[in-house]
Structure 1
Amino acid sequence: MCYNIAFLTKRLEKYAERYKESLPPALFESASRMNESRDLQPWHFVSGFEHPTLPIVSRSGILFARWGLIPNWVRNSHDAAEISTKTLNAVGETIFEKPSFRGNILTRRCILGVDGFFEWRTFNNRKYPYYITSATGDLLSFGCVYDLWTDRQTGEVVHSFSVITTPANPLMETIHNTKKRMPLILQKEHEKLWVSPSLQPADVANLIRPLHNDHLRAHTISMNANNSRNDRNYPEITDHVVYPALGLFG
């Protein structure tokens, strides 16, 4: 699955520029004007269970959305809080069937651009943390779905999203060797297509597949990443740490 990421983009206009081709021209120009001085919250390590608010790219523009999708049909804030811990991810193989996602996969697809993500390999009863990034140094574009939920008590409208997951590619099978899953990572040429409102269901399904190994690189990091009670949001958390027990893959 995918519950932990690094998001280091500090300026919204830089984020908008990266996804310029996926935004309608008018919305890109508007975002550039409105957000030319807007700062973003960078995260060296953040867990989805903290429900951070992050910028997602959609055909409606760049939206600030909470990680952990709240379906629009949820009745109250108690139920919203409960379901959002279960919707950090959306399984790609069943996304067209699950009530929380089946409408959104057709009409509310979006992209979350991250610097990297974290996963764990189990070896000899120990968990070794890895940091996975793009092989080119570019942002990784997670394929996601989002929804809008209105709190009936306060009137607040909350945007929220889920990261779609796929079966692991061979690299991720080695790292995430228990669940053998990985986030849906879109190739750059598929980003604009992913958010297109005219995409047919069969075409959407064809895009939900594992990214090839060649597009990713990975290295082991500090065991400090293993404990959620630790402060993990610091720059050195992604530094390479060698574990001799893992041999060439450590």
Structure 2
Amino acid sequence: MCHDLSFTASTVEFITDILPNIVINGNLSIDFSTSDHILSMSHRRALVILSKDGIPHLHGFEWGLIADYMDTPEKIKQYRIQMANARSEKIFDKKSAWYRLRKNRCLIAVTGFYEHREIKGWKNKVPYYIRLANRNQFFLLGFYNYSPIPDLETGEAIGTFAVITREANSLMKQIHNHGPNKHRMPIMMQPEDAVKWIDESLTDEEMKEMIGVEIDSEDLEATPVYSIRTTKPRPDGKPKIEYFNWENLPPLGSDEPLQPLSLF
């Protein structure tokens, strides 16, 4: 699945370049000093784009969608953890919550996302930073919803979102290789193609076509990085998205750790 995203303050400029008529809605309430990694379980805010009456709007929405049936704090606490990702295969299942939300389409603007790879015998999984090979910024497809319970301090409805995932391509299958939800990846697109997602006139058939497009492995760049879900600084002092040299890390396609070379 997808639980770790990255973006920067320059992502806002990227958005306005792609959508020059976008309306930036108030204070986005985003701390860009720590946005190189946000975790879905912490319900941090990300840059979310939706369309209203044909005009794109930029919001700072919380990750982890709150659906209308979560109308008590107890229900939010119980169910929200399951709503960071929407499985593309469930969108048109009329019994699914995602079917009722399919008109609430949004884009999530990112520089990249992280996924973890399991190596046999290793205690910790190795995180990889994934981005488009030819773009510094791009969009993920998603859904949004406003919480039925307003913010206690402001009284305003809280905007929330989920990232849509699909079956992984050949590269991502080698990285996201563990757990009950293995071999998944977010739906990522070149920005010029992705903006159609928030067109309010988009039909179900057009939605199916968009979520059915698999991005080629050759169009992605995957970089092993230092552990991201930690408060400890990197030993080399470099940013989270920079390459980290994991000793004895096997190449993709093999999950057996490399053995140190012997001089004898």
TM-score interval w.r.t. the shorter chain? 0.7 to 0.9
Q: 2:41 aligns with which of 31, 45, 49?
A: 49
Shift of 1:162: 0.4
Deviation string 1:190-228 (CA, Å, 9 cap, x unpaired) is 222111111111110111133211221011112x33xx4
- Structure 2 residue matching 1:75: 3-state secondary structure: coil
Question: Aligned pair count?
Answer: 236
Structure 1 partner of 2:132: 134
The residue type equivalent to 1:243 in the other structure is: W
Secondary structure at 1:85's aligned position in 2? Answer: helix
What one-letter code is carried by the residue in structure 2 that aligns with 1:47?
L
Partner of 1:221: 225
Aligned to 1:173: 173
What's the counterpart of residue 196 of structure 1?
Answer: 199
Distance 1:15 1:100, change over 3 A: farther
In structure 2, the partner of 1:114 is 110
Distance in 2 separating the partners of 1:122 and 1:245: 13
CA contact (8 A) 1:53 1:66 kept: yes
Question: What does the per-residue CA deviation read over 1:133-178, in whole Å, with 9 as the maximum and x for residues that have no partner?
Answer: 1212321311000111221795531111000001001110111122
Relative to structure 1, is the Cα distance of residues 84 and 10 closer, same or farther in structure 2, using a 3 angstrom cutoff?
A: farther
In the superposition, the TM-score normalised over structure 1's length comes to 0.83
Asked if structure 1 preserves the Cα contact closer than 8 Å seen for 2:11 and 2:137, the reply is: no
SS in 2 for 1:217: strand
1:11–1:88 Cα change, 3 Å = closer
1:91 to 87, 111, 118: 87
CA distance change for structure 1 residues 130 and 11 in 2, over 3 Å: closer, same or farther?
closer
Tell me how large the CA RMSD over aligned residues is.
2.7
User: How far has the Cα of 1:10 moved from its partner?
Assistant: 4.9
Amino acid at match of 1:194: W
Q: Distance in 2 between matches of 1:232 and 1:79?
A: 36
Question: Which ranges in structure 1 are unaligned for 5 or more consecutive residues?
Answer: none
Q: Which whole-Å deviations, capped at 9, do the CAs of 1:6-45 have from their partners, x for residues lacking one?
A: 1212574x14414406xxx4xx2x43xx77x978422122
* Partners of 1:111 and 1:144 within 8 A in 2: yes
In structure 2, list runs of 5 or more residues that go unmatched: 253-257, 259-264
Q: Where does residue 157 of structure 1 map in the other structure? A: 157
Distance in 1, matches of 2:28 and 2:72, equals 32
Q: Which amino acid aligns with 1:166?
A: R
TM-score, with length taken from structure 2: 0.79
Q: In structure 2, the residue corresponding to 1:163 is in which secondary structure?
A: strand
1:7 aligns with 2:7: yes
Letter in 2 for 1:72: D
Q: List, as ranges, runs of 4+ consecutive aligned residues in structure 1 with deviation greater than 6 Å.
A: none
Distance, in Å, in 2 between the alignment partners of 1:68 and 1:38 is 17
How many Å separate the matches in 2 of 1:73 and 1:211? 34
Indicate if the aligned counterparts of 2:30 and 2:45 stay in contact, CA closer than 8 A. no
Give identity over the alignment, percent: 23
1:59 corresponds to 2:60? no
